Structure 1
């Protein structure tokens, strides 16, 4: 499944190279884990690089690769201290966005987050986004979710993107 998804993202990215308008973006984010993972992890940071094509005016499509790091927490349960390990993902995804006006956009990343740390097999990634773009710098809010066997790892994030 991992290989199929990675191949799909690669083919999608390469297949769109005939489009005329292109954008290269670098972004960083910080966030707060939500759901079950909020009991065991306390913060998420990450970054990404994306390359998108603009074949239809208001729509952009392309590929994205990044890194997300969820910091483990120490939790006291019934007098016993548990130290949860950090969770790290290498997301590889198809990415897209649509302009809703001069500066506002909505977007979505769909792909796979490869688990980097021991015991993390990774999972399906989906990340809806809402952002404001001003002269090549964007402020982006997103909900990041990795769906894996046995649960999910999710966070609500705020970040910045720089267009090159």
Structure 2
């Protein structure tokens, strides 16, 4: 796992060092947990940075890294003999991914992030395959997007429906 993280960071650093016709963007996103985790988690908060290159006039591709945090809920469970509280631990991931984006017009785009999300919290979280298809609106300086973020882990999927904002540098 440490070797994978080192290789991903080295690839990202190499990308910056050799970039000639690329752009850097960074942003935030908020999401509502869906599917397997919707009863245990209340909110997803994320940060991402990416560097992309123009492959053609309408297509960009690159690499990125981020942090995604799922806030655990506390629920009251009634057993018939009384009630007790169940507190779910927060979950955190560091996604390392390839990213691609196709512009249908000057302002409308669709894209996807694919990679691996390293599990950082709780301690038994090993991480898993990371994916995020998204559509959005862009200008020369920013993007606003809607996406479906997922991390496939043993026993289920951490997924959320997200809204995000990226600033282009």
TM-score exceeds 0.5: yes
Question: How many aligned positions are there?
Answer: 164
1: distance between equivalents of 2:6 and 2:53? 19
**Which of 101, 119, 125 matches 1:120?**
125
Structure 2 distance, partners of 1:124, 1:70, is 16
| 1:25–1:163 CA contact under 8 A, matched in 2 | yes
Matched with 2:104 is: 100
- The answer to whether structure 1 residue 154 and structure 2 residue 163 are counterparts is no
Unpaired segments of 5 or more residues in structure 1?
A: none
Contact 2:16/2:51 (<8 A) preserved: no
Deviations along 1:9-38, whole A, 9 cap, x unmatched? 965985798775211001100110001211
- Shift, 1:135, TM fit: 2.9
* Aligned equivalents of 1:142, 1:3: Cα separation in 2: 30
- Work out which of the residue numbers 80, 92, 95 in structure 2 matches 1:91: 95
Which aligned segments of 4 or more residues in structure 1 are displaced greater than 3 angstroms?
1-20
Q: CA offsets per residue over residues 92-117 of structure 1, 9 Å max, x none?
A: 00111011101011111000111111
Say which one has the larger Rg: 2
Q: Which runs of 5+ in 2 are unaligned?
A: none
The correspondence of residues 2-21 of structure 1 with structure 2, limited to 5 A, is 3=3, 7=7, 14=14, 20-21=20-21
Cα 1:98/1:91, change in 2 over 3 Å:
same
Counterpart position of 2:67: 67
The residue matched to 2:38 in structure 1 has which SS?
helix
> What TM-score do the two structures reach when normalised by structure 1?
0.90
Contact 1:12 1:62 in 2 (8 A): no
Once residues 11 and 87 of structure 1 are traced to their aligned partners in structure 2, the CA distance between those partners, rounded to angstroms, is 26
Decide whether the 8 Å contact of 1:2 with 1:112 is kept in 2: no
Per the normalisation by structure 2, the TM-score is 0.87
Distance in 1, Cα, partners of 2:13 & 2:111:
16
